[in-house]
Every structure is written in structure tokens, then in C-alpha cells.
């Protein structure tokens, strides 16, 4: 068995091509986050939150600076039209990049009070965008521009396709990474005291807590993704932990530093990109992102 992989159940190694190798595509960052593959551009965009920059990596041409300053962007996703959506700690807002490169603010306040610091964002199959809003960008001066918390809590919000903002989830301590595993099921990591990932039943703009679903035993789950077969790929302190659709650990991809987030991409959607502390990593797989 390769030292890169640690199998907990049989079949885990079948998720990767024979001889699959982990490649460090780029390094010398401070805290990488928010990777998002953009098919129209053929590149992965990611954040270095603490250096206040975003970067892109393109096969064949490598690393290039995307935004400097980036207003401390963190998580990214694509909307239903393929436009890049970003969580900005600095602006305390969720933004969308238009075709001409300009940024449009999608959400910046709730009931007359500023958001905390949007952290991660995910596209629902119904076309809505769900984002977490902990306080890292105002609590940590290295991750934002500071400020006071105006909301009474740290919530998860929903931006409907028509732009309407609602607040379906208010019961988490530090909501963080989000991933839909179906049109009516959302996984949400909480990097608070218990550091578990929770399952919610979704019905439009309503969310019902179904309980804790899984918990990594090394560090905390920050970002996570679901593949086309329902497996869950979770960041962790020692790399990426992979779970079955039922929440049972299948195995681990071991990294030399803490993984913060990940995404599937590449020409056929089977390439795994991992943002881990100071580096951007790449690993071929035999699965596709959901």
C-alpha cells in the first residue's frame, strides 16, 4: 500500500488509478482555501486568505495571480450559470463575478445588520446558493479587516434564484463547509467545540436538523465535497478523509500538512485539488464530483 493512502475498508484503493501520485502544484502560501474548478476557463481558482490574494492554476501554464488584493476571499463555487461566487471576509459579503470581471454583491446584511464574514458557499440543485457565516474574518485580523459582530449568532443563509435572502439554519456554533448530497440533503461542518459534520433535511428555504453525521479524528472538517456516488470527501488535520454515503470511514489521503478544502475538476471532473495550509495539491481519482 502506498504511504499516501490509508485504507479503512476494502475497495478504498479502487477509487484511484493504479500508481496515483500526489503532486504539490504550488506552495509558499499562508493559508490556502476555497478551491473551485472553472470549466469555462480550464483552471482552478483558490484563495490565500491571510495574504489577501486569490490565485489560479492552469494545466500547462501553472500558477498565476488572480486578485491582489482579494478582499480576503475564502470559499468559492459556481452558480447555476457557471459564474464564480465568492465569500469575502473583507467585504463581509457574498459576491458574484460577472462576465466582464466586475463583482456584484449578492448578500451583505440580514435584517439591517451586517453579516459576520461569509466563509463557504455551495450551489443547491434548485439553483439557490447556501453560505455559512461564522466570525473568522472579524475575529482574526489576519483573515479580514476586523469589525464588530452585529448579528446575534452565526448562521447559514440561502440566496434564492430570484435573489431573496433567507436564514434557514441558526443552530450551529461555527458553521463552515457545506456540500449538497441531494436536492433535499445538506451536509454542514461545524468547526466549533464539537467539530462534527451535520446533516440537514432541506425543503425549499427550510432546513431540519437530522443530527451529527460524521466526525474526523484528526483536526476538524473544514471544507468537504460529495462525489457522484454519494461518498463524502472531507478535509482533516492529516489530509482528506473519505466516507461512505452512510458516514462510515473508507480511508484517508495523507498529506504533510492540514487540509482546509478540496474540489473535483479537470477536463473530465475526476481530478482532486486540495488546498492544504501552504500548498495546492493534485491527485487523480476514478470518481467524479457530484
Query: Has residue 150 got a pLDDT over 60?
Result: yes
Chain centroid, CA 121 distance in Å? 7
CA distances from 117 to 6, 126, 177, 180, 290 (A): 35, 25, 13, 21, 27
CA distances from 229 to 81, 133, 137 (A): 24, 29, 34
pLDDT at residue 40 in the model: 96
* Residues contacting residue 204 through CB under 8 Å, at least 6 positions apart: 126
What rounded mean pLDDT belongs to the chain?
A: 97
pLDDT at residue 1 in the model: 42
Torsion of CA 217, 143, 256, 65, to 10 degrees: 140
Query: Has residue 272 got a pLDDT over 50?
Result: yes
Name the nearest CA neighbour of 116 among 175, 68, 51.
175
Name the nearest CA neighbour of 177 among 242, 123, 225.
225
Share of the chain above pLDDT 70, in %: 99
Cβ pair 123, 131 in contact under 8 A: no
Chain centroid, CA 161 distance in Å? 20
Task: Give the tens place of pLDDT for each residue, 151-209.
Answer: 999 999 999 999 999 999 999 999 999 999 999 999 999 999 788 999 999 999 999 99
Query: Has residue 135 got a pLDDT over 50?
Result: yes
pLDDT at residue 280 in the model: 98
The whole-angstrom separation of Cα 93 and Cα 111 is: 14
Give me the mean pLDDT over the 86-95 stretch: 98
Domains annotated for the chain, with CATH where assigned, are 5-284 (2.120.10.30)
Strands 113-114 and 206-214: unpaired
pLDDT at residue 2 in the model: 61
Give me the mean pLDDT over the 37-55 stretch: 98
Beta bridge partners of 63: 57
Name the nearest CA neighbour of 181 among 289, 286, 282, 50.
289
The whole-angstrom separation of Cα 133 and Cα 37 is: 23
Give me the mean pLDDT over the 232-252 stretch: 98
Beta bridge partners of 227: 289
Amino acid at each position: 500500500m502506498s504511504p499516501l493512502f490509508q485504507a479503512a475498508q476494502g475497495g478504498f484503493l479502487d477509487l484511484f488509478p493504479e500508481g496515483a501520485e500526489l503532486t504539490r502544484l504550488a506552495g509558499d502560501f499562508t493559508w490556502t482555501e476555497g478551491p473551485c474548478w472553472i470549466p469555462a476557463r480550464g483552471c482552478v481558482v483558490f484563495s490565500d486568505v491571510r495574504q489577501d490574494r486569490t490565485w489560479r492554476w492552469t494545466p500547462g501554464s501553472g500558477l498565476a495571480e488572480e486578485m491582489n488584493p482579494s478582499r480576503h476571499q475564502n470559499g468559492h463555487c459556481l452558480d447555476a450559470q457557471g459564474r464564480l461566487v465568492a465569500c469575502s471576509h473583507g467585504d463581509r459579503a457574498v459576491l458574484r463575478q460577472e462576465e466582464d470581471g466586475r463583482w456584484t454583491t449578492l448578500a451583505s446584511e440580514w435584517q439591517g445588520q451586517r453579516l459576520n464574514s461569509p466563509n463557504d458557499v455551495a450551489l443547491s440543485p434548485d439553483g439557490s446558493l447556501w453560505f455559512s457565516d461564522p466570525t473568522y474574518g472579524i475575529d482574526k485580523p489576519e483573515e479580514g479587516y476586523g469589525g464588530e459582530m452585529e448579528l446575534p449568532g452565526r448562521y447559514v443563509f440561502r440566496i434564492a434564484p430570484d435573489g431573496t435572502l433567507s436564514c434557514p439554519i441558526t443552530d450551529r456554533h461555527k458553521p463552515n463547509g457545506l456540500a449538497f448530497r441531494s436536492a433535499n440533503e445538506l451536509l454542514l461542518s461545524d468547526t466549533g467545540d464539537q467539530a462534527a459534520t451535520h446533516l440537514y433535511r432541506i425543503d425549499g428555504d427550510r432546513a431540519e436538523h437530522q443530527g451529527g453525521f460524521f466526525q474526523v479524528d484528526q483536526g476538524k472538517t473544514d471544507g468537504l465535497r460529495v462525489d457522484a456516488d454519494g461518498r463524502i470527501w472531507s478535509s482533516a488535520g492529516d489530509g482528506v478523509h473519505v466516507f461512505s454515503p452512510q458516514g462510515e470511514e473508507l480511508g484517508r489521503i495523507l498529506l504533510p500538512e492540514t487540509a482546509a478544502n478540496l474540489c473535483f475538476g479537470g477536463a473530465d471532473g475526476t481530478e482532486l485539488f486540495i488546498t492544504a495550509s501552504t500548498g495546492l495539491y493534485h491527485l487523480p481519482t476514478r470518481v467524479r464530483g457530484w
